[in-house]
Amino acid sequence: MGRAIDGLLPQKEYDLLYCKAKLEARNYIPPFASEIKGFLDPEEGERLFELALEACLLGPCLEIGSFCGKSTVYLGSACKLRGRTLFSIDHHRGSEEQQPGQLYFDPEVYDAGKGVIDSFPYFRATLERAGLEETVVAIVAKSHVVARDWATPLGMVFIDGGHAYETVFTDYCCWSPHILPGGFLVFHDIFLDPSEGGQAPYEVYKLALASAMFEELPMTRTLGVLRRHRSVVVKQ
C-alpha cells in the first residue's frame, strides 16, 4: 500500500479498492436473477445494481414497472446491502404491449378466469425467493396515483413502465422532481436507432437532458443513465 497523502489513499489505490469492492458486491446478486421472467439483460441488471449501491448513499430507490421482479432483484439486492428501501411500483396488469394479441403477451401471467394480466403472484414469489421482503415495498397502483401524495426524496428513479409516449412522459414528470442532487434517473429501452425499438423512452430521455437538470453518463446496452446535477446549472 502506498503512502497516504493527508490521510487519503492515492487515487490509483482508491480506484483499485473501489473496483474490488464493486466486484465483491456483485456476489450479492442472486444467481437466479437472470432467469426471472422479464426483459432486462444481465449486463443491464448489474449496472442497475451498481447504480443503486451508489444511490443508496443518498436516499431510497424507486422503480416503475417491476413486472415479475427481475430489475427488482438487481436493485433490491443493492438496497439490502446498504440497509435501504426500494419502492417498487406496478399495477401488475401488464403494459400495452403485454395484452392478449400483442407482441409481448405471455399466457403464463394471464388470469383467464378474470380476463386480465396479473404479474403480482410472480413478483411476490420473486421477492420471497430473493429474500427481499424486508427491503422492497411493493406498491400495486398506477405510478401517477402513487406520485400524487409522494414526499420522500429519492437517490434513484428507474423508469421502465408503459412505453407509450404519454406514459413515459407522465412517469418522468411525476418522479424526476423527487430525485436528490447527485441521484440517478435511469430509463430502460433507450434505442438510438429507431429500427431497433420504440422511441418514446428515448424522446423523454432527451427531454430530461434538455432540462439541464441532469448530466449524461455512459449507457449500458439500452439503459440510459442520467445523474442530477449537484448544483444549479444556468443554461445560456
Degrees, nearest 5: CA angle 140-143-149? 95
Would you say the C-alpha torsion 46, 49, 53, 59 has a positive or negative sign?
A: positive
C-alpha cell read off for 98: 403485454
User: How many CA atoms, within 13 angstroms, populate the side-chain half-sphere of residue 159?
Assistant: 32
Catalytic residue from among 91, 163, 188, 229: 163
C-alpha cell read off for 176: 424526476
Q: How buried is 178 (Cβ within 10 angstroms: 0-12 exposed, 13-18 middle, 19+ buried)?
A: middle
Q: How far apart are CA 111 and CA 121, in angstroms?
A: 11
Q: Which amino acid is at 64?
A: I
Of 171 and 189, the one with the shorter C-beta distance to Mg ion is 189
| Closest approach of Mg ion to the CB of residue 11, in Å | 36
C-alpha cell read off for 100: 392478449
3-state secondary structure of 169: helix
Of 182 and 198, the one with the shorter C-beta distance to Mg ion is 198
- Torsion of Cα atoms, 203 then 209 then 213 then 215, to 10°: 140
| Closest approach of Mg ion to the CB of residue 201, in Å | 8
| Closest approach of Mg ion to the CB of residue 197, in Å | 10
| Closest approach of Mg ion to the CB of residue 7, in Å | 44
Of 48 and 78, the one with the shorter C-beta distance to Mg ion is 48
| Closest approach of Mg ion to the CB of residue 16, in Å | 34
Place of cell 456476489: 27
Alpha helices in 112-159 (DSSP H): 120-130, 143-147
Of 64 and 179, the one with the shorter C-beta distance to Mg ion is 64
Q: Which position's Cβ is nearest Mg ion?
A: 188
Of 46 and 189, the one with the shorter C-beta distance to Mg ion is 189
Q: Examine the residue annotation and report whether 178 is marked as an active-site residue of this protein.
A: no
- Return residues touching Mg ion (CB under 5 A): 39, 160, 188-189
Percentages helix, strand, coil for the chain, rounded to the nearest 5? 40, 20, 40
Q: Known catalytic residues?
A: 163
